[in-house]
Amino acid sequence: MNAHNSLDRQAAGRRSTLVSVAVNITLSLLQLFIGVFAHSQALIADALHSFSDLVSDGVVLVANQQSQKAPDVDHPHGHLRFETAASLAIGLILLAVGIGLLWNSFTKLQNPDAIPEVHGIALAVALIALVAKEGLFRYMLRVARRVRSSMLAANAWHARSDAASSLVVAVGIVANLAGLHLADPLAALIVGLMVARMGWKFTYSSFHDLVDGAVDQETVDRIHAQLVGTPGVLGIHDLKTRRSGDMILVEVDLEMDARLTIAEGHDIAVLARNRVMEHEHVLDVMTHFDPVQPPCTTAPAKAEPPE
């Protein structure tokens, strides 16, 4: 990534996250106050979910600043994995919040006679939260896709899980007002399940990247096609991929005509590297030249010197 793209990613991440902070502060305080006043367990659960967003927003702000630092002696590939670590932290936060909501809702359901009727104002607040969180999700996901940030995407989908939970809360409150008092804690239970599921998804994905898991097979196949399609490359083997933040690191052995000079082999390797980096979100391609006997006795293929 060039300096302009890096600064654009950092600025976009900070701006969208600050918008999320403002929305979540307002919603969490409103939901908590009205939830206690209206005796709505589901609305209180949604308030805690919104509050967890503030924690994850803080993680994103710190990681967004750290991940854009230039490479140094201790981090020769840069600091992009700060984003992956932040996504892992967000996942763990969501998982913890979800489990807490599940436990609290389960204990409430053990004593259904003590569940009070919810005040009607809780429904209005739930609907306001639904609209606000869905709007926040669409805004943040648009920014994440523009700058290609999985960390911002994780935070955006966190907001979408909030919107879905607010919908469940609204339905539970409507049912409670209709006389089904168990509906409110049941809605809180469903919110807990949704939050825990989203937390597990991000935790697993981020952990996979941190332990150098390979990228998906579709991406590997595209990289393979770019490499073997390079003029002068007779074949490849030992193709390896791993992630560094949102970027991909590639290692590969290139098979070339054994009669090529070192300079000619180098030019072909550079061409193969450039082809991959032009078409994929790749940070670097490490190549090794393996000399092989060509299938025929024609003159060895030569690559045009890279620009």
Give the residues of the chain that fall short of pLDDT 70: 1-9, 56, 59-81, 114, 150-151, 212, 245-246, 296-307
DSSP category for residue 113: G
pLDDT (0 to 100) of residue 66: 61
pLDDT (0 to 100) of residue 3: 46
Helical segments of 121-261, H only: 121-147, 150-177, 183-210, 217-228
Both structure tokens of 128: 């306001």
pLDDT (0 to 100) of residue 303: 54
pLDDT (0 to 100) of residue 252: 92
pLDDT (0 to 100) of residue 278: 86
Both structure tokens of 110: 């053990």
CA angle 103, 34, 51 (to 5 degrees): 55
How far apart, in whole angstroms, are the C-alpha atoms of residue 109 and residue 45?
Answer: 14
pLDDT (0 to 100) of residue 4: 46
DSSP three-state, residue 119: coil
Three-class DSSP labels, 51-77? HHHHHHHHHHHHHHHHHCCCCCCCCCC
How far apart, in whole angstroms, are the C-alpha atoms of residue 234 and residue 294?
Answer: 8
pLDDT (0 to 100) of residue 270: 92
The model's pLDDT over 67-92, given as tens digits with 9 standing for 90+, comes to 566 666 666 666 666 777 777 887 88
The model's pLDDT over 223-265, given as tens digits with 9 standing for 90+, comes to 999 999 999 999 998 898 888 766 788 999 999 999 998 899 8
Q: Is the pTM of this model over 0.75?
A: no
pLDDT (0 to 100) of residue 227: 92
How far apart, in whole angstroms, are the C-alpha atoms of residue 35 and residue 14?
Answer: 31
Q: 166-191 burial, b for 16+ CB within 10 Å, e for fewer?
A: bbbbbbbbbbbbeeebebbbbbbbbb
